[in-house]
A and B are shown apart, each in its own frame.
Chain A
Amino acid sequence: MTTLVIAEHDNKQLKPATLNAVAAAQKMGGDIHILVAGSGAQDVAAQAAKAVGVASVLLADAAHLQDGLAENVAEQVLAVAGDYSHIVFPATASGKNVAPRVAAKLDVAQISDITAVDSADTFERPIYAGNAIAIVQSSDEKKVITVRVTSFDAVAAEGGNAEVKTVDAVADSGLSSFVGREVAKNDRPELTAATVVVSGGRGMGSAENFKLLEPLADKLGAALGASRAAVDAGFAPNDWQVGQTGKIVAPQLYVAIGISGAIQHLAGMKDSKVIVAVNKDPEAPIFGVADYGLVADLFTAVPELEKAI
């Protein structure tokens, strides 16, 4: 029994989500190999080889693997999939994009966004926006799985000593091509990895007012998040969205400001260790999950809070 973990990276850096996926793979038992599919990604392979618990790193390097196009990456995974009992992806945008394509080609069901490993074939996953937890058992010979990264503590990035093997890259499918990328400018911690998250909702009122959260986030060393209402209203960029259809976060401290707490939002943050809510409506559902609630106007409470910390 051997598990293949598909590395998440940008051809230069191994993304931390990979280390969480390795941690989940350890619970499935057996050796763990990592596949790095990319272009000029030797550094990524070297970083993956240092991760604790990794037995071997496979590097597939070709120009058409550079941008993570699903058709090419899925073919690359299939090309090496032969001997593995488990194929594991972090449940990131790229993991979710590729994993089902691999599963369908192998004619196996895929298990999405697992939050716990009960045994090599039994897993826990949230359904209905996190309002229920299902324990599911796969009867397929190969398991294709995506892992909710916030549910598993990452393995150490240093300390391992795996060998890096180069594998043949598959041919370009020619079905799709990469056009361009618009990276949101962000010098704060990454939302899904931050230990503190400060999020704003519709109650912020405008994109200008959203800036009110910045000094507070700076003081706390926090990432900024947003509810769907705030994103749809144009107050915040869409990759800040926390919720069922956005990012899933589980920081030490989550500060929800002007967020009512719709179930779709709660699905993205209710595993946070401590939740603080600031809202002027004492009936807002967010107070049902908040450890500490403050019923107050955010426009006076936020600057006060920033000064007091």
Chain B
Amino acid sequence: MKVLVPVKRVVDYNVKVRVKSDQSGVDIANVKMSMNPFDEIAVEEATRLKEAGTATEIIAVSCGVAQCQETLRTAMAIGADRAALVQTDVELQPLAVAKLLKAVAEKEQVNLVILGKQAIDDDANQTGQMLAALLGWPQATFASKVVIEGENAKVTREVDGGLETISVKLPAIITTDLRLNEPRYVTLPNIMKAKKKQLDTLTPEELGVDVTPRIKTLKVSEPPSRKAGIKVADVAALVDKLKNEAKVI
């Protein structure tokens, strides 16, 4: 079974981003970039499927600027066999990415696509579901456990109020939740090996996909900041403030 794992290059999760002074967006020049944490979990899950003998080949794919190659090298250091970059400088939105991924999935004849549940920059939580719709495949989102049983995948999903388990027919789309696995650290020898692995570059034009954004960002602003609070001396003072000042208890 061939597995496709889309990965996204995003601002590192530890960075506190700042809004640009002209309010055109968020300042991402000179900040640390990394692989989206949910995508790391996706690569790890694919790698574990390969180690268990279920998956035969893992292809990592990323869409965006040339620097996404670094993200793909990381994916190959974790365990992807080869990678493809769909290179473009156009701002990509989830629908465009889903269309690009559909083209790649069909080209590579994969049986399973594992994506992160959301990217921590746009917080959209759309691409996996959109890809499933475009391919006409079933989807198992927010997965915390995946078991491949012949022609089906049995997936436990994190939903409001608990967990639910569904069975989807392969080929299928799975999106990862945080508790699916703990991604391994990439080791230096594996980083070196990843440099020798194959990395193809494609363009949206080659794949026949129009990536024009559908949603226009008019303005990006700082969230309203909270009024500075106070520190209280002890529990009695705290309860007094809550009762008499904030009047919430």
Show the binding face of A for B, using Cβ within 8 Å: 67, 69-71, 74, 92-94, 96-105, 107-113, 122, 125-140, 173-184, 186, 192, 196, 220, 228, 231-232, 237-239, 244-245, 247, 252-253, 263-264, 270, 273-276, 282, 287, 289-296, 301, 304-305, 308-309
Contacts and interface: CB of A to CB of B under 8 A. Distances in A.
B126 A181 contact: no
Contacts of B107: none
In the A-B complex, the 8 residue pairs with the closest CB atoms: A100-B129, A175-B138, A104-B130, A104-B133, A109-B214, A100-B126, A179-B165, A291-B229
A196 B217 CA distance: 35
A70 B26 CA distance: 33
A112 B167 contact: no
B196 interface: no
A178 B156 CA distance: 10
Given A113-B123, A293-B232, A274 B166 contact: no
Contacts of A71: 138-139
Contact of B162 (A135, A176, A183, A290): A183
17 contacts: A96-B141, A97-B129, A101-B130, A103-B126, A104-B133, A109-B213, A122-B218, A132-B223, A136-B215, A175-B169, A176-B166, A176-B167, A253-B242, A292-B229, A293-B229, A293-B230, A296-B234
B21 to A, nearest CB: 13
A263 B16 contact: yes
Nearest to B159: A93
B184 interface: no
B120 to A, nearest CB: 6
Contact of B231 (A98, A270, A293): A293
Contacts of B232: 292-294
B120 A128 contact: yes
A110 B125 CA distance: 10
Nearest to A70: B139
Contacts of B219: 134-135
Contacts of A105: 133
The residue among A94, A108, A127, A287 with the most chain B CB atoms within 10 A of its own CB is A127
A309 B243 CA distance: 9
B95 A93 contact: no
Question: Is the interface on chain B under 10, 10 to 19, 20 to 34, or 35 or more residues?
Answer: 35 or more
B52 interface: no
Given A103-B130, A176-B169, A305-B239, A93 B231 contact: no
B166 A275 contact: no
Contact of A179 (B144, B167, B213): B167
Given A108-B214, A132-B220, A183 B161 contact: yes
B160 interface: yes
B26 to A, nearest CB: 5
A142 B106 CA distance: 28
Given A132-B26, A135-B218, A101 B118 contact: no
Contacts of A129: 120, 123
Contacts of B89: none
Nearest to B136: A175
Contact of A305 (B13, B38, B127, B238): B238
A290 B26 CA distance: 25
B111 interface: no
A56 to B, nearest CB: 26
B178 interface: yes
B11 interface: yes
Contacts of B139: 70-71, 97, 101, 176
B235 interface: yes
The residue among A128, A192, A245 with the most chain B CB atoms within 10 A of its own CB is A128
A197 B203 CA distance: 49
B141 A70 contact: yes
A139 B214 contact: yes
A101 B131 CA distance: 8
